[in-house]
Amino acid sequence: MEIIIKASVAEAQDEAARIMAAQIRTKPASVLGLATGSTPIGVYQLLAEFHRAGRLDFSKVITFNLDEYVVLTPNHPQAYREFMRQHLFSKVNIAADRIHFPDGLAADVPAHCEDYEAAIRRVGGIDLQLLGIGSDGHIGFNEPSSSLASRTRIKTLTPRTVKDNARFFPHANEVPRHVITMGVGTIMDAHACLMLATGESKAEAVAGMVEGPITADLPASILQMHPRCKLVLDEPAAAKLRRAEYYRWIYENKPIWQRV
């Protein structure tokens, strides 16, 4: 795992956006795994700016989103499909038939989850998976105690995650209690992972993920086993890392050919 510590949220977002842009430029038909929530919004804004400036072409890109709420219609203001439309898809030249989401309205959820996994396999797997981390260490909606070999499936949200997400809804009782999410095993199958974490509220989870044991109690810790994972942090999110100075030294002394 490569740890990249930046001075500010803006610098961390810029680093993550440049990594994603480099992936698309290197492989125009890249398969991207995308995340939602407040953390990646700045990254999507930068990618859209790159596109507007003629520096990034999404016409061949294929996307798979990590998760979607169960019961929300696709155009619901808090549906993740609508989130992605607002923050990225409506601002770049990506074709609608190359965008994939879990279907929170699927009549047969287990069958739909198997189909989602099959669709990822058909395109050769995810080239770069963008991730955030929950304050309890979840990735996607793989809550603590999730199987580290899990695949796409329905999950019940913990009270802590419901509380964290309540700020996006007019009333806390409107937050769905179930989601369809890629599993931990699905995420680990990605050829490369990129996690962005900012703010002091993520510091404890980040430290456990990077320097603690690999455990289902902190699902993100499995990324220690991924062969190509970059973790981009701002200073507050990196505050509890014991080896922070070492990670800074490594990044600052990378050979030129390793830089984005």
Specify whether the CB–CB gap between 225 and 189 falls below 8 A.
no
Q: Is 257 exposed, middle or buried (0-12, 13-18, 19+ CB in 10 A)?
A: exposed
Catalytic residue list contains 103: no
- Catalytic, out of 67, 117, 164, 234: 67
Those residues whose C-beta lies under 8 Å from the C-beta of residue 39, and which sit 6 or more positions away, are 132, 196, 197, 198
Catalytic residue list contains 76: no
Q: Name the token pair of 122.
A: 């058909």
Determine the Cα–Cα distance for residues 140 and 42; give it in Å rounded to an integer. Answer: 18
- Catalytic, out of 117, 143, 164, 189: 143
Helices (H), the chain: 9-26, 41-52, 80-87, 109-122, 159-165, 184-188, 203-211, 244-252
Determine the Cα–Cα distance for residues 103 and 87; give it in Å rounded to an integer. Answer: 20
- Catalytic, out of 68, 117, 136, 164: 136
Determine the Cα–Cα distance for residues 226 and 53; give it in Å rounded to an integer. Answer: 34
- Catalytic, out of 51, 87, 112, 138: 138
Catalytic residue list contains 67: yes
Catalytic residue list contains 2: no
Give phi and psi for 157, each to the nearest 5: -75, 145
Active centre residues (catalytic): 67, 136, 138, 143
